[in-house]
Structure 1
Amino acid sequence: MNILQINASARSEGSQSTHLAKEVVVHLLDAHPDANVVVRDLARQPFPVLDEAALGALFTPEAQRTPEQAARVAIDDAAIAEIQAANIVVIGVPMYNFGVPVQLKAWIDAISRARVTFTYTDKGPQGLLTGKKVYVVLARGGLYRDTAADSQVPYLRTVLGFLGMSDVEFIYAEGLAMGEEAAQKALAEARKDIKAIAA
Structure 2
Amino acid sequence: MSLNILSLSASVQGDQSTSRMLANELITKLTEKAGAAKVSERDVSNNDIALVTGAHVGAFYTPAEERSDEQNALLEQSDALLAELKEANTLVVATPMYNFGIPASLKAWVDMICRVGETFRYTENGPEGLLNIDTMYLVVATGGAPVGSAVDFVVPYMKQVASFIGIEHVEVIAADRMNVDADASLKKAREELSEIVQKA
Counterpart of 1:158 in structure 2 is 160
Question: How many angstroms apart in 1 are the aligned matches of 2:82 and 2:153?
Answer: 25
Query: How far apart are the structure 2 equivalents of 1:56 and 1:122?
Result: 23
Give the gaps of 5 or more residues in structure 1: none
For residue 133 of structure 1, the aligned residue among 128, 132, 135 is 135
**Is the alpha carbon distance of 1:34 and 1:146 closer, same or farther for their aligned partners in structure 2, counting shifts above 3 Å?**
closer
Greater Cα shift, 153-162 or 95-104: 153-162
- Per-residue CA shift, 1:76-127, capped at 9, x if unaligned? 1111111111111110010000110011111111111101110111111111
Aligned residues: 195
Q: 1:26-175 to 2 correspondence within 5 Å? A: 26-44=28-46, 46-62=48-64, 63-67=66-70, 69-175=71-177
* Superposition CA RMSD, Å: 1.7
SS in 1 for 2:173: strand
Q: Deviations over 1:23-68 (max 9, x none)?
A: 111111101232100001112463111112322433445454234x
For 1:77, the aligned partner's letter is D
Q: Decide whether the 8 Å contact of 2:91 with 2:133 is kept in 1.
A: no
Q: What is the deviation of 1:9? A: 1.3
Q: Structure 2: which amino acid aligns with 1:133?
A: T
Determine helix, strand or coil for the equivalent of 1:40.
Answer: strand
Matched, 1:3 2:2: no
Structure 2 gaps of 5+ residues are: none
* Cα distance in 1 between the residues matched to 2:45 and 2:133: 28
Q: Provide the TM-score with structure 2 as the length reference.
A: 0.90
Pair 135,64 (structure 1): closer, same or farther in 2 beyond 3 Å: closer
| Cα 1:121/1:57, change in 2 over 3 Å | closer
TM, length-normalised to structure 1: 0.91
